[in-house]
Chains A and B, each alone.
Chain A
């Protein structure tokens, strides 16, 4: 066990954890930040995606020790029910999902994509999401939401 300082959505937390413990379990079990979701534990599906240093990363694959001291963003920190982030609003407007278990990965990957490239082409959107899984097949709605969000982001 070691002690780590994590900055999540601008808030500092001190946690005791095994250094090789994936960030995912610290966020979920220690900090009760539930939106990064366990899908595979193998970095193959993206349900656990968080943003570290402005990059969408798979929290099931990065040890807590390497995330310490770097800014971590989760879905909880994106917007609030009163003031949804424009990307969240676009996904709501498009009613983009079925069960929504995977949506954390899509929304956070959309955030990372549009922060770096506010007006991606169709090809760029599809490429950015090729590493994500949606078992329900909600892709048509997701594409519509990302297009909508890219139109809204100046």
Chain B
């Protein structure tokens, strides 16, 4: 377990941090207001540390009004997890969902649950919450039992009212007994981070009795957002706050030679320019002043040699690079048996072979809000308001960045726009920290669009080479999968080290915490049980080892869309070479029944006619528009997705239009079908965007994708007229992840549909109109 500073220690050391800042309109977010009960109650307890995760009341408190306050290290990033948690708590406690309030991600008030990542918030992160609620229920019933004249086991609860069913008029509310209940109960703690769990006296309900979990409760955050009463981190303002803007080098490897802020001094409100090695920030009293001053300040940079290969030669460069690390992995599942490893001999003895290479580009998180944070670093204390999705890790990273004891650092999480990994909200926080430290005043840093699109961390480019051996009956006897990719761990997905921040790199700190992450068969792809499978994964070194706009980290479903684009396209190529229907081939070789079930469900919904691809009408059709259908499977940590895309391809222009998606989705027990459906729909559109539009462009000096024109993403015209979601519920299974899996198969489903329509195979993403047109020529 990480060391937890007790609430009392924190108050003693830096109590002013907790209460020292009011917000201009006093209502940053309901979650912050909800922190009041705990703030006021916690400090006086004489025994165990009140914020140790072994204490029930570190997780959950019931106030006299019966409101249930839950403290979680998980945060909402736009997919509705707060609502799912509220349903789970309400289910166990038998209170209305509206009585459940959350404090999320405030490092001074919540357990470290690793933050949000890996689609684990409901699958793992809700476990301790469910157990805590069950134990709180047990404690509350125990406290009420003497008054109600019954054993706790005989009592019932309706809407937060405890009732003795033998004497229904005998009742007491949770709020009334909360003061007597022993919510200091010590829990059994296991695991840490994403897998942190606690167990206490209460046993969670049997899922077959659920009444709230499994229903489409409206998301608790949607109405406040639509009504305009919701507050994002961009709306946090603290007294005495300066506005900051950062200025990045014009080229990778460029060093700052000279700073002349004379022109900026003429800007109204300009305060100063902060320079630390190659890190530059401009401060002003007003936001507009900061923007104008950042444009006015006269910086001279060195002109380094070209540090990057040309964009056109990226994939050649990746293939020729000596890997910095390699890993051969055996396939997952049943295919590990029977001669796995005889791939070379199978390929050399094959009666025919299918070989193909697939390429997937760098992609930008390009978050909707470009990144914003407020930092107050004064008198040995640091408070940072940030929407980064892993606040406890950010706390560690910031402490290391400024060499401050972690006990003196607090992250107050406030929702930002959807982050989808490690986009740079963490870097914006580090920028704000350095600027506040230099200014001795609170600083709000708002990134401009290019700071995010061009300089945010990137999803890595991936190249996959595949080969299959077919016997004389055109049956697959072996597959070899080889990947070459930049590491998704060049920048850690947990922002827990000081050296990973862009600001650190620009101030000359070397990055020593990178890890190699491998793209493997069965890791980011389905594990088809072919008789022989070999998976070889290479990590190639970063294109530029200094502070680089092409540094790589986790972008939604890390490397899943890239690897599944390759493997799921390749399976289609094998099916075509074998002359069999692409769903039939998948059903033959994927052994997991739930994977088979999503393929069958999608096929049924789509009215899929069994036949090999291509459709064969390409040569005969007189019109410009060719129609096709494609399928792909996605498997991810126990969640299964079958996606079918139907496309129109204009053979004159290359323009590609997805006319229909059908997506069958199985993530175990469904907590909220309505919210899940919306999240899958959005996943499909975002992954369509990545499949047909998104590619970070760069020249030999720097990234040239700086805005929405130079980094186009899907817009309304791209959205399919029909999007059918088929949810497969498994109440007998635990809930699995749903934030990322349906991003995985989309690109291959589209590419396979293009092949079906045209007979032409697209092996490089994105499938832009220019690329499709060139391939058809």
Whether B227 and A79, one on each chain, are in contact in the complex, defined by CB atoms closer than 8 angstroms, is yes
Contact with A along B672-716 (1 / 0, CB 8 A): 001100110111111111000000000000000001110001111
Whether B366 and A140, one on each chain, are in contact in the complex, defined by CB atoms closer than 8 angstroms, is no
A99 to B289, CA, bound (A): 29
Whether B449 and A137, one on each chain, are in contact in the complex, defined by CB atoms closer than 8 angstroms, is no
Contact with A along B219-232 (1 / 0, CB 8 A): 10111011111111
B235 within 8 Å of A (CB atoms): yes
Contacts of B366 in A (CB 8 A): 135
Contacts of B227 in A (CB 8 A): 79-81, 84, 88, 92
A132 to B719, CA, bound (A): 13
A138 to B229, CA, bound (A): 20
- CB-CB under 8 A for A135 and B713, given A32-B24, A47-B368, A107-B226: yes
Residues in A25-79 with C-beta less than 8 Å from chain B: 25, 28-29, 32, 34-35, 37-42, 44-45, 47, 74-76, 78-79
A106 to B165, CA, bound (A): 51
Contacts of A32 in B (CB 8 A): 24-25, 237
Whether B678 and A141, one on each chain, are in contact in the complex, defined by CB atoms closer than 8 angstroms, is yes
Residues in A101-154 with C-beta less than 8 Å from chain B: 101-104, 107, 122, 126-127, 129-141, 143
Size of A's binding interface in residues, CB under 8 A: 59
Whether A99 and B77, one on each chain, are in contact in the complex, defined by CB atoms closer than 8 angstroms, is yes
Contacts of B367 in A (CB 8 A): 135
- CB-CB under 8 A for A137 and B684, given A21-B288, A78-B228, A84-B226: yes
Task: Give, as a whole number of angstroms, the nearest-CB distance from A151 to chain B.
Answer: 18
B369 within 8 Å of A (CB atoms): yes
Task: Give, as a whole number of angstroms, the nearest-CB distance from B268 to chain A.
Answer: 6
Whether B685 and A139, one on each chain, are in contact in the complex, defined by CB atoms closer than 8 angstroms, is yes
Task: Give, as a whole number of angstroms, the nearest-CB distance from A67 to chain B.
Answer: 14
A28 to B713, CA, bound (A): 27
Partner of B713, one of A21, A122, A133: A133
A4 to B614, CA, bound (A): 65
Task: Give, as a whole number of angstroms, the nearest-CB distance from A58 to chain B.
Answer: 12
Whether B686 and A135, one on each chain, are in contact in the complex, defined by CB atoms closer than 8 angstroms, is yes
Whether B370 and A136, one on each chain, are in contact in the complex, defined by CB atoms closer than 8 angstroms, is no
Contacts of B234 in A (CB 8 A): 34, 37-38
Contacts of A76 in B (CB 8 A): 228
Task: Give, as a whole number of angstroms, the nearest-CB distance from B69 to chain A.
Answer: 22
Task: Give, as a whole number of angstroms, the nearest-CB distance from B47 to chain A.
Answer: 40
- CB-CB under 8 A for A135 and B715, given A39-B449, A103-B225: no
Whether A143 and B449, one on each chain, are in contact in the complex, defined by CB atoms closer than 8 angstroms, is no
B639 within 8 Å of A (CB atoms): no
A12 within 8 Å of B (CB atoms): no
A14 within 8 Å of B (CB atoms): no
Contacts of A91 in B (CB 8 A): 222, 226
Task: Give, as a whole number of angstroms, the nearest-CB distance from A134 to chain B.
Answer: 7
Whether B78 and A136, one on each chain, are in contact in the complex, defined by CB atoms closer than 8 angstroms, is yes
B415 within 8 Å of A (CB atoms): yes
Contacts of A47 in B (CB 8 A): 368-369
Whether B716 and A139, one on each chain, are in contact in the complex, defined by CB atoms closer than 8 angstroms, is yes
B723 within 8 Å of A (CB atoms): yes
Contacts of B235 in A (CB 8 A): 28, 34
Residue ID in chain A nearest B686 by CB atoms: A137
Seen from chain A, the residues whose Cβ lies within 8 Å of a Cβ on chain B are: 1, 17-18, 21-22, 25, 28-29, 32, 34-35, 37-42, 44-45, 47, 74-76, 78-81, 84, 88, 91-92, 95-104, 107, 122, 126-127, 129-141, 143
Other than the given A28-B235, A143-B719, 5 more pairs (CB < 8 A) read: A92-B223, A98-B418, A100-B78, A104-B228, A143-B716
User: Can you pick out 13 interface pairs between chain A and chain B where the beta carbons lie within 8 Å of each other?
Assistant: A39-B370, A39-B449, A40-B707, A42-B707, A84-B226, A95-B218, A96-B226, A98-B78, A98-B79, A104-B228, A133-B708, A137-B689, A139-B714
